[in-house]
């Protein structure tokens, strides 16, 4: 017989898989966060391109825009909630890490 108070059956809200942004959201929060990040980082990359004449920074701004557009497409094209939210989270972190790598590459190359 299973004990309903057994710790294995309790939902631990601190686990990543039980976070609201990955279980109950529609995905709009990921789009909003990515939009803010894309505007800020995109502006910085464009400024780097303008001031340092670094074509890599321009490419980074374009990659940021493409990843944000991909996130918007995923938000409305993927029906399964869990899959949609995991894809949006992965795309968001891909955008952030790619931008970080590009900024570091431009800084090292200058």
Predicted pLDDT at 100: 95
For residue 51, what are the contacts with CB-CB under 8 A and spacing of at least 6?
none
Domain limits for position 93: 28-109
Count up the domains in the chain and report the number.
1
- Tell me whether residue 79 is in a domain: yes
Provide the pLDDT for residue 109: 87
In angstroms, the CA 109 to CA 91 distance is 26
Q: How far apart are CA 90 and CA 65, in angstroms?
A: 16
Whether 55 is in a domain gets the answer yes
- The pLDDT tens digits along the chain (110 residues) read 455 555 555 667 677 666 666 667 788 999 999 999 999 999 999 999 999 999 999 999 999 999 999 999 999 999 998 899 999 999 999 999 999 999 999 999 86
Q: Is residue 6 part of a domain?
A: no
Answer whether residue 16 is part of any domain. Answer: no
In a domain, 40, yes or no: yes
pLDDT of res. 8: 57
The confidence score (pLDDT) of residue 82 equals 86
Residue 40: the pLDDT is 96
Residue 78 lies in a domain: yes
Residue at 23 is within a domain? no
């Amino acid at each position: 017989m299973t004990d309903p108070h057994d710790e294995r059956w309790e939902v631990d809200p601190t686990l990543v898989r039980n976070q609201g942004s990955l279980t109950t959201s529609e995905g709009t929060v990921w789009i909003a966060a990515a939009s803010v990040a894309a505007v800020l980082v995109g502006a910085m990359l464009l400024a780097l391109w303008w001031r340092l004449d670094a074509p890599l920074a321009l490419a980074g701004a374009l990659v940021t825009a493409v990843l944000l557009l991909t996130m918007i497409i995923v938000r409305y094209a993927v029906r399964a909630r869990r899959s949609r939210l995991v894809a949006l989270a992965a795309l968001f972190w891909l955008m952030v890490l790619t931008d970080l790598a590009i900024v570091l590459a431009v800084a090292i190359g200058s």
